[in-house]
Each structure stands twice: as C-alpha cells, then as structure tokens.
Structure 1
Amino acid sequence: MKRTTLKRFCLELLQHLLAAGIMTALAYLLLNSYIAVDSIDGPKVYRIFPIDTGLEFEESEIYHDLFRNAVSDITQLVALKGQLETDGILDPSKKIDVTAYAKEIGKDSGGPLTVVYTLDDIVKWGKSGVEYTNRFMSMSEFVNYFGNCIYPENFKLDQFGQLSFDGFYHVGDAQEDETEEGVAADGADLEEGAVVQAERYGKSAEEITALSQALEESTQEQLEDMVFAHIMSQNPDGIDISREDDGSLTVFIPMLNCRYTSVGGKKQLTAYARNWIEYMKLQENVVAAVESLTINYQRYQLCNEAYRGANSNVKYMVRMMTDDGMCTYTNVPDLAELPDNEVTESFNEYRRYLIYYPDSLVFMGNTIFSEEEIDDYISVYSYAYPDTTHIWLGVDSKYTIQGDSFHTANAVYQKIVPNVGRFIILIGVLALFWLGIGIYLTCVAGMVPGGNGERICYLNRFDKLWTELLLLLAAGLVYGGWLGYGILVDIAETAQVMPTKLFGVELTRLYRYGLFAAFGIYASMGFDMIWYSMVRRMRVGGLWKGSFLHFLYSGIENTVRFILRHKSSMISTLLPYNLFLFSNLAGMAAVYKLWNRRIYAFLLLLAMVAVDGIVGVLLSRRNAEQAEIEEGIGRIRDGEVEFKVDADSLHGSSRELAIAVNNIGEGIRRAVKTSMEDERLKTELITNVSHDLKTPLTSIISYVDLLKRLHIQEEPARGYIDILDSKAQRLKQLTDDLVEASRISSGSIELEKEKLNLTELLNQGIGEFSERLEESSLQVVFEDGDVPAYIYADSRRMWRVVENLFNNICKYAMEGTRVYIQTTKQEGRIEVSIKNISRQQMSVRPEELTERFIRGDSSRSTEGSGLGLSIAKSLVQVHGGSFEILMDGDLFKVLLAFPEYSESPADDTGAR
C-alpha cells in the first residue's frame, strides 16, 4: 500500500512539473511572439501565429497591415497638405473660410454667412479650447437683439388672411434710407406707403395695404411672439427656455467666446449676423472648423515627420491637377520633376508597390491591397482628390532606413519565426507525456492490490466530502483559473508595450515565466484533485450516494415511508391528508392575496390544479396497483403458485408488497414441490419395501402351508403354526394394501370404466358382509335400496371402496346398533351416505382418518393397517368423486359423491 502511494505521488509530481514546463514553453511563445511598432495612432502590437512561421515577412499579415496603415496615413497626409501648406510648405498665415471648410469636411450647418481666420489663429484657438458664455435675456430682448425686426416685408398673410412671420428679409440698420414714412407708422398716408413698398419688395399695393393694416391691429407682444416662434422652429442647438413665475420667458443662449479677430477685423460673430438663425449656423461652422483643423494640424505634424524621405522606408508620390495648376506631393524629391511614365518605372523597382490612376482606371501593384480599398480611403477626402489624381506608393524591402515600423517589424519577425515551430513541438511532446500519465493514474485511481492478487477499491478522506462540495470546489478552481488566465493574457499582451505590474509590483521577465509555470501547476493540481476524486467515487458507486441531494432524498423518502407505513392510521393516513389539505388552503389564501395581480394568481392556481391532478393520478395508480396485487394473491390462493405479480411496473409500497407476494408464491411453490417430492419418495419407499417384503412373505406363507399339510397335532407346535398362518396372512394383506395405496397415489393404476349400478354394488356388499355384521349384531338399513343409481366407474375398484367401508364398519361399529345407508340423486350427482355409531370414543379429527396408517382404535388392539379409508378416498377421487368423513359425537358418517352416468361423451370426471 505504501509503495503504491509513493509511486502515485511521484507520478503526480512529475505530471505537475510537466504542466509547469508546458506553461513555461507557452510563455516563451507568448512573450516573444509579439512585434511592437510605433505608428501615427500610437504603439501597435502584432502577434506571430504558428501559421505565419512558413511565410516571408512581406507575405505575412503583419506586413499587409503595416502597408494598409501606410496607405491610409499617406492618403490623409496629402489631404492635409492641401489644407495647410502653400507651395509645399506649412503656411500659418493661410486664410481659412470656415463655411467653405465646413462644407469640405461635411459639417456645414447650411448658413449663408462666413468668416475668415488665419490658420495660425484657428490652430491656437483649438489648442486653447472652444469656450462659450451663457447669456440670458427676456424674450423681447432676444427677438430684438440684432435690431427691430417688425417690418412689413418680414410678415405675410396666409390663405385665411391671418398675419404670420415670413422670415428675416429686412436688413435693419443697414438700410438707413428706409424711414418711418416707408411703413406709415406715424399716421402718414397709407396709400403712399403701400406704393413705395410695393415697388421695393415686389408685392402689390393691395397686399402691402392689407399687411400694414394687420400689423397695426397686432400688438408688439403678438408680433414678437411670431418672430420668436419662427426662430425656435429652426431648432437652434443649445438655446434653452424657462418660464418665470410671472409667466414671462427667459432665454438662455450659449455664445462662442471668440479668442481671435477675423481677417476682416471683427472679433465677435454678432458683427456678421443679422438674426439669431444666421448667428447660430455661423457659430456651428466656426466651431467645426476650429476643432477639425486643430486635429488635422496635429495629425499633419505626425504624418509629415513619420513619412519624410529620411525617416521612412515607405516612398510615395501624389500628383494632381487643380485650379491653381499641377500639385505634387512626395518624399522622394528626385522624382518630383519626372513625367508619369518615368515615375511608374521607378516605383516598379520596389518589391512591394502600388500605382493608381483614377482618371484612366489604371491600377497596378503586387500587394493584397485592392482598388476598392484605396477608393474607400480617397473617398473620405474626396474634396482633396480630383479625378486627375495619380498615386504612386512603394516600400523599400531592403529596409535601409532604421527606426520605422517596417524595419522594426522585419527585424523582430526574422528573430522569432525560426523558434516558434521548435517550441510548439516541445509543448506537444510535454502535453503527450502529461496526458499519458493522466490516463494511467485514471486507470489505477481508487484501486490497490489485495492479498489474493485482486484489486480493491477504496476512498480517501477527501472523497468522503459531499459531491456538491466537490463540484463547488471545482467551480472555485475554475473561477481561479479564469482569473489567472486573465492575468496571463494581460501579461502577454502588454509585455511588449509597457512594463507589467501585478498588485503594484513591476514584473521582470523571470517573474512572468514564474507566473506561467505556477499557473500550470495550479491547473494540473486542481484538475487532478477533482478528476481523480470523481473517478474513485464512480468506481465505488459513490458519486450519487455520496451527495447531499442523495442524503436529503433518502431522509425525505424514509420519512414518507415511515409515515405511510406506520401502524397508526392517524400517522399513515390522516397526517398526509391534513398536509395536503393545508397546502391547498394555503394556496387558496395566496390566490386571494394575489387576486389584484391576475397573472400571478392565475399561475399559482394553475400550479395548484397541476399538483392536485398529480396527487389524484398517484392515488388512482396506487389503487390500480393494489387491485393488481389483490388479483395476484387470489390467483396464488387458487393454486397458481407459479404466477408472478409484475413488481417492476409498480411503485413505492405497492412494489414492496408485490415483491413480498411473489416471495410468498415462490415459498408456496417450493413447499408444494418439496411436499410432492417427499410424497413421491415416500410412495417409492413403500412400494419398494412392499415388493421386497412380498418375496420372503410368500416363502413364509408357503412353508406355513407345508407345515399345515403335515397335520401336526402336538401342542404347542400346532398353535404356533396357526399363529404363523394368521400373522402371515395379515402381513400379506398389509403389503397388498401398501402396494395398492402407493399405486393409487402415484397415479399408475388404469381404470376400466363402465356403466355401474352403485345401488346394486352396495347391496352386494351387504350380502358379502352379512355374516360378520350378524356376529357384531349390526343391522343394516338401506333406504331406497331398490332404486338404481348409475355411475361411470371401474367395478373392481369400486368394490374395493365398498369392501373397505364395510370392513371399517365391522371393526369399529358398536355392537347391537344400526348402520344406515342412503343413496340420492341431486343435480347430476349420485350421493351415498353411510352412518354408524362408533364403538369407542374418537380422539382424532375426521380429516386425519383418511391419512395413511391412521386408525380409529388409538390402542391399535384391533386388526387393520390404517390404510382402508385412505385407499377408499383415493379410489373415489380418481373416479372424479368426493369422499368426506363427518363425526358428531359417536356418530360416524361417510359421504360419497359421484357424477351421474350420462350418455354424452366422456369428460374428465368420468361421466358419460
């Protein structure tokens, strides 16, 4: 046992060390299969997968992604150069029309106004941040902030003749030549004012006159409400409204803090706007331009520096025809003056290149980059790329310029790839060894060699924990493994980007490998502990039996069984009934409480109906099973001892009762079989002994007969001869009776049945035994002795019955009494009754008198073998009749019954 335990301990230790080796090798792959490169968007990390080990760097997914990023960056860089440079040089004083720029980038608010700033001011403004000042004013102040807007040209009459605001058409203070006379506000001639406005705004005099009259009839507040409603219908962003206690409205407006003066010399945007709608849209365009250009400027700085000819192995050239002439952007100055065909030849020399002429649908290259992809990149900056754009892009595969992403990635790739395959093979070999040890330990788990060379199953202390606790422990180990896996993933993903810290401690490379190895040991030990315990439990069948659920189930089952099988009906019947009744009452009370929440009440009621239905089905099934058991008991009682109740289809106590009934039937069958076997052996013994006695008995009788022929007269020899003759004859009669009884009981006799008059046979018996009856002073009274009674029987065998009965009467009937014989016919049967008074008091039961060797004379002083009545009964029964003895005090009565003779074909009873 100790040697087995030590061997297992060593194998498990080896298995854990193999797991540590697997994780250490995996750590090498993970910690050294990353390529970290700097890009415009920050550090990027690529992982080298085993599938990449057979590819060259230029064929790997890493290279393709770097190339794709370069195309994206250069496409954006060229667009930014067009925005920020003048003659190929960054121009801080470049003028930026904010509305035009907003249209280019797709963020135009749709306003009609614009403002121009220098690039330098916009970038500085964006770096400082866009800020707003929240201003609040009354509704009237808000409406009239840009000047009085209550002018006839801003209003109209709708189809119903109602006055409504039509829009901001009057320019306010900019048209100072328009005086009060123009609107006839001071009571001037309306007709004259109408003619002037009709000429100026293209409306008829009648329309102007009606409009002026509607304006005069409206109050200032009503007109301001119309204007305010129009402004708010345009959904200006950021404007909030609150209603004061007196019912007035207060308007909150976020107004942009303009840090810099425009090229036009104005600082505030309100100087350009004529109303709030124009102001808010102009403000949106300014903010969009400031934020976008600031980001673009920062992006331009990064891209321009990264893709300078001296800093990058990526070479590019973009040439396009614009309104200002031919523009060329490149990091290869020597190619700037060459024609397109020579530039194409130059880029064809690169191992990886891309050439694209959108205007002539020319696309050439030897990368995975497709024409659709570059179209997608260009479409983002479609305003910067006219159809005349020609693009050349290539990568110097010699990577002569150190420090860029292609050079760094290639150097690390060439270092890592040769080692990946070796470590994968190492991990596979270690894993096979770990698995092999695991399979062996699984096969021998929970087994030790016994004394006879057999395997003995066992459980240790840990295996005696409830199965649920084992599963909870397994779940805890899995959760711990998941947390550890997350830590290892974080270590692997960040190892090439930044130092990794665990609980505030910076991890060196050695610590990282140690963490991986520790995780392998943890996973291996946790798996072994749970798995081998499960195997041991399954091996001894304790996986379910050792669970808390089984413990709980067994407790409930035993409790229910104790209640249902209790001898007291108060416990076995009333207690379950009361519990069931209480549960129904509690359910009804809960339904009443939940009635307002109909869905829950309905579900609870449905559950109650289901439970009641299940109980009803169980009770019905139990009654059916009880009926089936009762039927089985009846069939076994009626002699079908081979019958079996199907216990497998029954449940609970009914099943146990069925098993008990089957056992009873089996016991009866065995008892009957044993009894029949004993009877057979007894019959064989009697037969054999009788046959063995007949040979010497015949010799004795012969020699006695010879002695009698000698006529010996001397005494006491003569007396001895008489005694020998008497006893020999008695012994011969006994032997014959034994043989006859054994033959009848074994069923070996053959009956020669015929029509027989039982009355005549009885009269013959009376005649044959008349002398002996007279000697005992017995008088026979035979009622209906002249009425024939026919039966179907063997006459010789039936005479033996009559002879035995009369012998019994002569031996045991009291002298000087009468013997009554009566025959009757009843329902197709012949019944015979023979009655006499016993000479001695009977000390045995009536049914015992028909057993073998039982005699009415308990002192056994009279002649007889005790087989007469037994033989008579057996012969009556083989004829299909019945033989019964009744005793009432000293009255001894024998009842015989036979089927009456019939002319129909013979049946099993012997009747015809």
Structure 2
Amino acid sequence: MKRIVYSNVTKFISFLLLNILVMTTLAITLYGGNITYKLNNIGEILSTKTYLESQDFRDMFIQNISNANYFIEVKKALEVAGEYNGNKEVSLSEFISDESNISLFGLEAKYKLQDLVDWGQEGVETATLYEVLEERMSTDNKLSTNNKLSTKFDVFIKAMGAVTDAVVVTPEEENSDDSIEIMLLSMQSLGFKLSREDLNKEVIREKYSAIDIDTILMSCLERNDFSEIEKSSYELQEAIETIRDKYDFYKRYETYFNGLDSTNFKIYIKDYKGDTILNNCIDENTDYRTYFDSKTGIIYNALNKEFTFINFVNEDINLDTFKVADEVNYIYAVGVDTNYPHRDVFFEANETFYNTRNSIIASIVSSLIIFFCFVYLVTVCGRSAKDDEIHLNSFDKMKTEVSAGFMIAIGIVFLLIMMSVYNNFSSDLTIVVGLGIETALFTFAFLSLVRRIKAGVLWKNSIVYSLLHWLVIFIKYRKATTKTIVLYLGFLAVTLVVLGIGINSRSYMIMMLWFSFSAVVGFFLLREAVARQTILNGIKEISNGDLEYKIDTINLSGSNEILADAINNIGEGLHNAVDASVRNERLKTDLITNVSHDIKTPLTSIINYVDLIKRENIENEKIRGYIEILDNKSQRLKNLTEDLVEASKISSGNIKLEMTKINFVELVNQTEGEFSEKLENKNLQIIRKLPEEPIFILADGRRMWRVIENLYNNVTKYAMKNTRVYVDVKADEDKVILSIKNISENPLNIDAEELTERFIRGDVSRSTEGSGLGLSIAKNLTTLQKGDFEIYLDGDLFRVTITFPRVYEQVDNM
C-alpha cells in the first residue's frame, strides 16, 4: 500500500486529475448556467427542489402580471375600440408626470398620437430660442421644408424676418456682429416682451404642430409671454419620450398578451359585463376554470377579493398585484404552462435553473476532489516508498526567491484571468486551457516550496541566506578578507584613475605605466598561485600517507608561510601519533603472546595429567563425568590459546609462510573427513561438488589447513541441525574458488564484514564454543597467502568464498 501511495505514477495521476478538474470546474462555471445567477442564488438553488418553488419563478410570474397590468394601461392610452389608432387625439397633460404644475401649453395642447410616436422614434432635439428663430428665418427667409408645422407659424416667421432686415443698427453693433442683439431688437420692435435671457433659453426643435394651438413658440408669441417656453419644451419632450416608450412596450407585448397561445405565460381578464380586457389563451368555447386547472397559477375574483391557487407553491401574493386600472369587478386568471411548449422567458429560466443547479453540484464535487488531490500531493511530495528521506528535484535546488517569484508571477496571471472571466471579457475555450496551464505551473511551484520546507532548505537555499552567510564569513575572517578587499579596491581605483587620465590626455606614457603596474600585480598574483599550489601539493602528499613530508617554506611569505608551517606540524604530529599507535599495538600483541605462552605450559601439564587419570580404571561414574568435563574444557582452552597466539602472530607480522604446491581438492576432502563425526552429531548433510582431477594452488600447507579447518569448525558450531551444507570447488584457467553455504541456527543480525573482525561471533548469546577468532584468522591467513576471502549474508543464509590463483607446474618451496 505504501508503495502505491508514494509512487510517482500515483502522484502524476493526482497532479493531472487536479488540473483537469480545475479546467472542468471553470468550464462548468462559464457554460453551465448564468454566472451572476449562480452567485446571487446559490443557496436557494441548492435548497429548492423544483424551479416552480424558486424565488426566481415567483419574481418572474409577478413581473409578468405587472407587465400585463401596464399593458392594459397602455392599451387604453393608445387604442380606440380595441385597435391602435394613430389619428387618436391625445392631450399632452396625460403624459406629464408633474400634473400639479403644468404650463398653459401643456394643459391646452393636443397632438395626433402618431405624430408624437414618430417624433419620439426620430429623436427629440433642443436648441436655444435664438437658434430656433434663426433657423426658421434662414435661407433667404424661405419657409422650412418640414410641412408638419402649420402655415400660420411660417407666415409669422416670414413677416418677422422682413422686420429684421429693416432694423437699423449702428456701425458699432454692425461691427460687433451681435446677431442675438439684432434679433432682440427686431422682436422688441414688433412689440414682444422679450429679453436676451429669453433668447438663450433651451427650447425644443418642434417638428410637429399641436392640433389647436400650433407650436410652443407660436403659443408664446400669441400670448407675448416667454416665461414658460423652457418649461413647456421640457414637458413636451417628457410626453414625447413617455409615448414613445409606451408605444414600444405596446408593440413588444402586443402578441405576448393578445395573441392566442403565443407564450407559456397565460392570462385571461374579463369584467362582469362579459367584456374581455385581456386574453392570450382561451377561445370563445373554452371555460377559463377548466383551462387553468392544468396550469400553475392563480385566479383572482375582484368582486369578493378571493384567490384560488392552482398548483402554486408560494401563496404569499399581494392584493395590489392584481389591481386593474379603472376596473372594479373582474376575473383575473393567470398561470404558466409548465410543459413549456414555447421558447420564452419561462422556458429559458427553467432551463437555466436546472443547468445551474447541476453545474453547482458538479462544481462542488469537483472542488472537493481538487481539495483532496491537493492535500494528497502536499502530503506525499518529496517522499518515496524506498525511504523516509525528502527527495528534491532540479527545480527545488533553485534559489528560494527565484522559485517564489515564479509562483507569484503565475498567481498574478491567474488573478488577471479570473478577473477577465468575472467581468465577462471573454468566455472562450482558450481561457479554460490557459487557466489549466496556469494551475499546473502554480501547483508545481507550490509543491516545490513544500518540499523545501519538509527538507529544511527553504531558508538555507535562499539568496538572503547566502548573502548573510558570506557576510558572517567576512566578519569572522575580517583580517584576511579586509586585506583582500582593500587591495582589490585599491587596484581598481588606481586602474580607473590611470585609464581615465590616459584616455583624456591620450598619453602613451601613462598607458605604459598602467600596463607596468598591471604586470606587477599579475606577478604577485602568479606568485600567490604558486605558493598556494605548493601548499596543496604538500597536503596531498601527507594525505596519501607520507607523514614525513615537509613543505618547503623558503619561497613562501606572509599567511602562506604560516599555513605551510602549520601543515608541517600537523604531518609531524600525525607521524608521531601513528608511531605511538604501532608501538601500542605491538605491546598488546606481545602481551597476548607472552600470556598465551605462560598459560600454555601449565595447560599442557593439566591436559597430560587428565589423560593419565582417564587411563585409570575409575568405576565412580560421577568422577568419570568430572574428568570428561575437565578434558573438554582443557582442550577448549588449548584451542583458544592457539588461536590467540596465531592471531597475535598474524597481526604483528611475525609469521613465516612456507609456500608450496598444494592439491586443494585433496585438502578439502581431508578436512571434511576430520569433521565427519561432528557433522553427523548435528545431522548435517554435506552436498559437495568437487572436481575429479587435482587442482593445485600455491600456499602454506599448515596455514591452509588452518583456514579450511576454521571454516568447517564454523559450520559445525553455527549451522542449523538437520540441514544441508553445500561445498563447491570451482576452477578455471586463472583461479580456484571454494564456496561453503549453510543455514545459520541463530539470526544473523550483523554485517558480513563484522564477522571477520576479532572476537566477533555469530552467536551473540555465546551459548556455543568458540573464541570469535576463527573467521578473522581464516581471512587474515587467506590474505597473507595472496587469496581473497569474502562472506555473504542473506537472511539466515551464510556463504563464505575463498579464491586463490591456480598453478599448474611444480613450484619450489619459498
């Protein structure tokens, strides 16, 4: 399980899944319903089972009722006998909001409905009173081409233009080009009470005349009162825009509320006289109650103020919602066909609700999976199933600030993309893919920081840490560093000064001086490099074992000379320490040898006397048992003494080898024969594989016998009872290999190399006989005879292999 959790394949799959889900979540957010609707109604969407139960349905339902009520109001304003009539005369006061303060013109003016509609669609323009009068009198006093204005107005303007032409102006006025003043004088000469401020008032450019009183301007001229001309213009503009909006609303909803079966929203209103006020669903032969029983809606009886709810979930309805203007007793039936046969606003809203609901659920599930993937990656990043170490990749070894800057830059780009999506700058698929790439890079950089934190290198691998580290070194070694920095800065200053002077003065002498100075600096740098190399060579010689080597300090000076003397002293100290160690080792070896010899003399006597006692006819079984124990223990002590002597001779080098040609196969057979009884006692079965022909090696016969004897002795002591022991001898053209394999009786919780050290035993409990010197002696004797000795452990499997060069011809004794 651990291998699966920490495997690179699992990590890669989680990383890939995380990024795919991020792109999927964004795609769902963009295309799975309206984003604004999601953000504003996420709680309601998740808590509401059906669209009919949602607040959005209720709001849209009420809004359609309000639109229907307003449509009824507009119909009354625009229709005659149930049909739109452009020739209908409408009073301006009906469309002015401030009814309490209407101008005289607003109270009196009536227009043709179509004129006001056309005027509103063409657009209302305004100008100053002066500009309007000037435009009417322009082009040689010809009348305007707009024939919608009355002839009466144009005749007046023409007459006024003639008066304007006859006005006598002073040279100063003529030179000032004050056309407003000329207009003002002309109007005043005709008896109009008009001021310069009146001419600057903002008035409407009238394209159409009223029915009775012509235009605002004409009305003011006839009354000789311009005080309300600006207010009347504003009222006319407001009325035009109101009628235009009502006309547009009327045209937009004419089919929606009047056409039969044109929308999913159904409405039927009739008064108690039997006249239909509004109907978009029922023909003459259908009862409205039967029809609305299959819909989701409300029937309101205005006579007794009674509501009948049909499949309607939210019954919190305000009575004012169903008030119809100028009506008292009526039936108001309204509903929605929830089969949605028409693609209208209810159809779209229903689709949006369920698409949005599904996308929100999918986004939540996806976000949870993204979170768990992210937590998993943070937990396992840097770890493997092989060990508990934190492993860093090449990117992790970059400086912390560099990778952090990379992550911050990606975060900024990520934020810009999200802002672009939120502001609906673009919803193309490229944004989804781009965000996926940004997420992958961001996750990669973030996990790199996590690995650094786990490995404890987040701070140590930073640029700031490096700078502080070098600052500490500079302060710690300020004697050397200050000198170097001062010299370098001095050299740099001299170089810049000399170069500056030489370039400005173009003096070849100064340039030659600079090159000479640089040559001197180069010489000292080379001498420093040579001195350093001399010291490095000395360190190399001493590290290779030549402890008597001395660095020549004749050509050294300053800190280099001090360093060389210190290294020479270190070498001398190491030489003395090694000599002392060798002397101590020899003393230990001599002590072991002497003690062993001192023990060997009385031990020989004990063994001989025990042997003599054994030859006596002793009938007491108890005493015979004691004698047997004495014999075994004295023999064991004899073997231990011989091993100690042998080990001390080997370690001190005080051993003489008589190298002869030996039949290696025969030596193995003889040794096995010697141990046959001990092998049988432990029921160990020898599986041998020996060559039939003689195989010769060059070795000391007695020492080689000791090697093989120690290996078989090790088998008899430590091999598990009732198991097999494999003995193989192989030979090729160059070497002879002996391999002995057995199963250990005790667990081998030890390194193979340690088994060949002195006094180390595989039986940690020391419940078996042995000194712990057998394998050590065998290895050392093998090495002295130019052979190789190797031990291999695998669980309870023990295998020892010795290798010797093969010889063929007769070799003289050495």
**Larger-gyration structure (1/2):** 1
TM-score, normalised by the number of residues in structure 1:
0.38
Q: TM-score, normalised by structure 2?
A: 0.43
